Structure 1
Amino acid sequence: MSRFEVITDAGIALVAELGMRGLTHRAVDARAGLPLGTTSAYFRTRKTLVEALVRRLADLDRVELARNRLPADETATLPPGQRLTAADLDRLAESVAAVLDEWLTTGRTRTLARYACLLEATHHPELRTILDHGRTYRAQARALLAAAGAARPEQAGDHFVACVDGLLFDRLVGAGALTAPVPGTAESRADLTTAVRSILTALTAAT
């Protein structure tokens, strides 16, 4: 692993475990097993350290999206004129559900850290740039919803991202964490697929 990956992975683990208050250069050095001062040599300020964590989170997200056959960047658009069928939407729901289930299990640490970083940005405007990675997902969702026949694809794409993010948050820390199937099981993936397909159905049926 590169030094960037070692440092940011240690930072992600700290934020997931302790929240943003636990993210210090000294703590990252200790968690990563690096000599004191290493993290501050790479990232001089806390802001640059937080931004580095988000870049690492986004990189890891792209790997999982690609593994589950979902667009991994904003340039991955559909061919002009291509329309998504009901079967395509079924497969899309299954792929999104698989990613969500990974983010609740093997990627749970990253998911917790991601939410902590987003909350930090609401209190510190100088960190608002960490929200930029969400633009890619919205652009992809708009293109997919347009191809599925949504009457207002830009609005529908934004609503889809918001609903899926809410579903993830509910399964991670909300009431859904207590009542939903155990993450990592076939039941969990099936339940998430049903939820995502319902969202797609509602958005593509809207006029």
Structure 2
Amino acid sequence: MATDRFAVLTDAAIDVLAEHGMRGLTHRAVDARAELALGTTSAYFRTRKALIEAVVRRLAELDRADLETDRLPAEAGAPAVDLGDPGAVAAGIAAVLDRWLSAGRTRTLARFLCLLEATHHPELRTILAYGDVFRLQATAMLASAGVENPEQAGSHLVACIDGLLFDRLAGAGSRTAPQPGTAASRDDLATAVETLLRAFTATGSR
């Protein structure tokens, strides 16, 4: 499959997901959004499951690009972030979160929809496990800071940051927080993330 056609179709599918939800994701809808001939999407992705899996792969690819832009580890096995300066680490994470809430909002909506879909279709969980990279990195970061049981703490930290992202996207926080895509938003997110980092290191250090 040509890489450009994969990107065109999966980006169109992400737009359809964000606008119409999981029920609205059909081959025909993706064809229309991509402005391609009817049947193009089904020629590349024969089943709906294959289409969803392709969307997840594209989401992971775009997420890794964002992390690399902000010089955060994007692959399992990459060197752990040095937690010596929690404020700097928090600022980097906040920059990614703010991008996912502003320019990448459509993608973030699609990601959460795919995660929810996996609760009904367990066979999708393997491909949706790309979030495990973030947990591995959080574990390594907290281990380097001397936190006891860093695997558990890393998982909890990522869950808290995911919760912050979801709250800003769809919860009460979206009504009271600064407008995404602004310096105020990045500063507010950095404050929240730094609070989390300091709490995890303060309560779990050896």
What TM-score comes out, normalization by structure 2 length? 0.94
CA contact (8 A) 2:83 2:89 kept: no
SS state of the match for residue 206, structure 1?
Answer: helix
Question: Which residue does the alignment assign to 1:178?
Answer: 175
Do 1:16 and 1:110's aligned partners in 2 also have CA atoms closer than 8 Å?
A: yes
After the TM superposition, which of the residue ranges 190-199 and 147-156 deviates more from structure 2?
A: 147-156
Q: Which residues of 2 match residues 160-175 of structure 1 at below 5 A? A: 160-175=157-172
Q: Percent identity?
A: 65
Are 1:83 and 1:149, in contact at CA under 8 Å, matched by a contact in 2? no
State the partner residue of 1:90: 87
Return the offset for 1:125: 1.9
Contact 1:58–1:133 under 8 Å retained in 2:
yes
- Asked if 1:149 corresponds to 2:151, the answer is no
1:198 aligned onto 2:200: no
Letter in 1 for 2:198: T
Residue range with higher mean Cα deviation, 175-184 or 148-157: 148-157
State the partner residue of 2:68.
Answer: 66
2:39 aligned with 1:40:
no
- Equivalent of residue 185 in structure 2, options 184, 188, 194: 188
Deviation at 1:130, TM superposition (A): 3.4
- Report the Cα offset of residue 90 of structure 1: 1.5
Compared CA separation, residues 83 and 7, structure 1 to 2 (3 A): closer
| Match in the other structure for 1:131 | 128
1:148-204, Cα deviation, whole Å (9 max, x unpaired) = 221221111101100000000000000000011111111111110010000001111
Is the 8 Å Cα contact of residues 90 and 194 (structure 2) preserved in structure 1? yes
Against the structure 1 CA distance between its residues 171 and 4, is the aligned structure 2 distance closer, same or farther, given a 3 Å change threshold? same
CA contact (8 A) 2:135 2:154 kept: yes
Uncovered stretches (5+) of structure 1, i.e. residues with no partner: none
Q: Which whole-Å CA distance do the structure 2 matches of 1:169 and 1:186 have between them? A: 19
Q: CA RMSD in A?
A: 1.3
Structure 2 gaps of 5+ residues are none
In 2, the alpha carbon distance for the partners of 1:67 and 1:83 equals 17
* CA deviations over 1:12-51 (Å, ceiling 9, x no partner): 0000000001110111111101111111111111001000
Shift of 1:83: 6.0
Offset, 1:131: 2.3
Q: Confirm or deny: 8 A CA contact 1:118 1:130 kept in the other structure.
A: no
Shift of 1:72: 1.0
Q: Are the structure 2 counterparts of residues 58 and 83 from structure 1 closer, same or farther at C-alpha, using a change threshold of 3 Å?
A: closer
2:5 corresponds in structure 1 to 3
2:115 counterpart (113, 118, 129) = 118
Query: 1:91-146 CA distances to partner (integer Å, 9 max, x unpaired)?
Result: 11000000000000000000000001111111122222232111111101100111
**Alpha-carbon distance, 1:56 to partner:** 0.2
Q: What letter matches 1:153 in structure 2?
A: P
Q: Which amino acid aligns with 1:99?
A: V
Q: CA deviation at 1:74?
A: 0.6
